[in-house]
Amino acid sequence: MTQWDSIENRHGWVFKAAEKLIEAKMKEKERMKTITDEEYKLFQKLKKIWLHSTPEQSGQYFICSECGEKDKVGLPEKILVCPAYGSDGFAVYTKTTDYSAPSY
């Protein structure tokens, strides 16, 4: 009988528990799904949309108002941005250029 046999006999429950833990981790790893870079970018966009659409839960900034005349595509001259839900103040952002889109 070797030294290791003796340890296994005295502490067999530790080895069995470790084996079960390893098996569970391997099964968990098999269940995990991998996503593509494109799917991750989409997830990040959706996360950002959610964060800014639920400021009372996320604590993120949000557009709280608009003012001034609107241009031909409906964008206001100024927007007011609240830094967090429940804040007393806001920042005013002024449009400096008209809307432009790349031409294809």
- pLDDT over 90 percentage in the chain: 24
Q: What is the dihedral sign for C-alpha 23, 26, 27, 28?
A: positive
29 vs 39, higher pLDDT:
39
Q: What is the DSSP letter of 91?
A: E
Tens-place pLDDT, residues 52-74: 788 888 888 888 899 999 999 89
Q: What is the pLDDT, as a whole number, of residue 83?
A: 87
Estimate the share of the chain in helix, then strand, then coil, as percent rounded to the nearest 5. 45, 20, 35
Write down the pTM of the prediction: 0.50
Band of the pLDDT at 8, cuts 50, 70, 90?
Answer: low
Domain ranges (residues) in the chain: 33-96
